[in-house]
Amino acid sequence: MINDILTTAEKKMLAMVDGLKKDLATIRTGRASSSLVDHLKIDYMGTIIPLNQLAGIATPEAKLIVIQPWDKGSIPLIEKAIRTSELGLNPLNDGNVIRLIIPPLSEERRQDLIKMVHKRIEERKVVLRNLRRDALTEIKNLEKNKEVSQDDSRHAQDQLQKITDKHILETDIVGQTKEAELREV
């Protein structure tokens, strides 16, 4: 029973850290990356489709993203989605492909993005602590109902704390990596 609780908590924490990595990948760093536009949703023929399912996305240069739609009729829809997104990029359309030139970030914008990264990391740490609290409650309920001994409960609580600390450290490392990317000129 305790192992199930710990395993479930660790899986949820791992999924949360993976979600953070994907979330932070969408923040523009002044360097081209397909992950900046992968998540964009396009209203294509009445269906909402992620851009990566509607077009090929490439980064042939450090400051350029090239989007090649499989259906040329979707180009205006993709352009509209890019313009209305929070990316702040202006798409260039030549009729076959869409080019996104990634401008360098101003120092003020860098600082704003770093603050955003710190905020998202803190939000994820709160989620981790909530997951720990929930698992801890389950463990204490098992002890209270005499389903496990006090020693087993204490050992499980220590293991849970180690798992939580590991994932919080991993979250910090992900954040520091993203912050370093943002600070690069």
Q: Is the predicted pLDDT of residue 31 greater than 80, yes or no?
A: no
Q: Residues 179, 27: contact at Cβ < 8 Å?
A: no
How is the chain split into domains, by residue range?
2-25+106-183, 35-101
Mean pLDDT of 140-155: 90
Q: Is the predicted pLDDT of residue 138 greater than 90, yes or no?
A: yes
Give per-residue pLDDT as tens, 105-120.
788 888 888 898 999 9
pLDDT confidence of residue 185:
61
Which of residues 131 and 71 earns the better pLDDT score? 131
How many secondary structure helices (H) and strands (E) does the chain include?
Answer: 5, 6
Write down the mean pLDDT value for the chain. 87
Domain 2-25+106-183 has CATH 1.10.150.120: no
pLDDT confidence of residue 119:
92
Closest by Cα among 115, 132, 110, 121 to 182: 110
Q: Is the predicted pLDDT of residue 158 greater than 90, yes or no?
A: yes
DSSP string, 156-179: HHHHHHHHHHHHHHHHHHHHHHHH
> Rounded to two decimals, what is the model's pTM?
0.71
Q: Is the predicted pLDDT of residue 121 greater than 90, yes or no?
A: yes
Question: Among 23-37, 59-73, 80-94, where is mean pLDDT lowest?
Answer: 23-37
Structure tokens at 1: 């029973």
| Class of domain 35-101 (CATH, top level) | alpha beta
